[in-house]
Amino acid sequence: MNPFLIVLIVLAVVLFIIIIASIKIVRQSTALVVERLGKFNRLLTTGIHFIIPFIDKSVGGPISLKERVADFAPQPVITKDNVTMQIDTVVYFQVTDAKLFTYGVEDPLRAIENLTATTLRNLVGELELDGTLTSRDTVNSKMRIILDEATDPWGIKINRVELKNILPPKDIQQAMEKQMRAERERRESILKAEGEKRSNILVAEGEKEAMILRAEAKKAAVIAEAEGTATAIKMINDANPNAAYLTLKGYDALKVLADGTATKIVVPSEIQNVSGLLASLKAVVEDDAKDKKSK
């Protein structure tokens, strides 16, 4: 084979390798830091780029610009009232400047973890146990502000910080459970007493309304009876009854009295006349009977 042809082939292969090496494709949501002769040259963003082989060099791999989640292991933290708790945190962060992220700190994730632990100890150290358990949102907000300011020179944006778990010692957990159980029992007793009180009030109100209704019904009956009697008397008076009618009504009244248990009856004068008339009729009937026997 012609040596010149071999040289051309070798040069073509080398040129192809150089061209391939000079092409850099950066994916979406990533960035690439390029150094030229050991010095920062430029930042490659999404798309296709060309660099000078053997002179330009990318530092590390592509840097993700997506939001990341760092779940750190539980850290021992001492509260203001000398209670040691285990608290683990979750940090949501995002790289906003790939250059600062590359040159700002040696190990960014390790740095965030240590900064989170020290900040958490400072904040919780100012709170008592109860305040730590009830002020989780406040601690989260303060930690996010402090971490965001501290990581800004590293090209990192802290979006959220969450206290994942707060684990007090076993004896304190048991005491808290007893306290909560006693509180629930107290609330149950209060609710039960209030229910019984309300029930008694309702029963009393029902009895009161029933008594009022019975009294009103009795009153209405008495009024109706009185009105009926008054109406009857008025009708009799309007009819202008004669003495015979009045005498007959008196006799009916006397009959009712005689059927009762009274041992003494006062007979009005009008009724006495009727009694005399009846006695005379009885004497005449007896005389007629004697005359018939004698015959």
According to the model, what pLDDT value does residue 277 have? 46
Q: Which of 120-134, 137-151, 277-291 has the highest mean pLDDT?
A: 137-151
In CATH, the number for domain 67-168 is: 3.30.479.30
Q: Residue 242 above 70 pLDDT? A: no
According to the model, what pLDDT value does residue 268 have? 53
Per-domain residue ranges of the chain: 12-63, 67-168, 188-240, 242-289
| pLDDT band (50, 70, 90) for residue 67 | very high
| pLDDT band (50, 70, 90) for residue 282 | very low
pLDDT (tens digit per residue) in 81-117? 888 888 889 999 999 999 999 998 888 899 999 999 9
Find tokens 């502000």 and name the residue: 145
According to the model, what pLDDT value does residue 249 have? 59
| pTM recorded for the entire structure | 0.56
b/e sequence 249-277, b meaning 16+ C-beta within 10 Å: ebeeebeeeeeeeeeeeeeeeebeebeee
| pLDDT band (50, 70, 90) for residue 23 | confident
According to the model, what pLDDT value does residue 281 have? 45
- Find all residues with CB under 8 Å of 220, minimum gap 6, and list them: none
